[in-house]
Amino acid sequence: MPKLITIETFSDNRGNLSVLEKNIPFDIKRVFYIYGVDDSVRGNHRHHKTIQAVICIAGSCTISNDDNMSKQDFVLDQPNKCLFLYPEDYHSMHHFSKDAILLVLASEYFDPKDYIYEAYK
């Protein structure tokens, strides 16, 4: 089941500083980001092992999730929102704003065998 958290943020007249520290439930093995997305849908998979922390650090996008018990949509529209996606979470990413940058921190190195492309029935 996905989990949405608010990242601790410190703000003053110089700007904002958001910190992810001690609240990521895995060692980070891979970092990637998605940007310049047209009206395409990204993702459409789940994993055997990988846990992901997903942050839209600029712009906005929607993550649709199905964990085989419930379906939910999450709008990521602030850089202090972090969505944790677990292996059972079949997710798709869509409705990217033109300026969207979606940062993903992953618990596993890339392995094509870790991906499951079939949705729950």
Active site amino acids: 45
Burial 26-60 (b: 16+ CB within 10 A, else e): eeeeeeeebeebeeeeebebbbeebbbbbbbeebb
Distance linking the first and last C-alpha atoms of the chain: 17
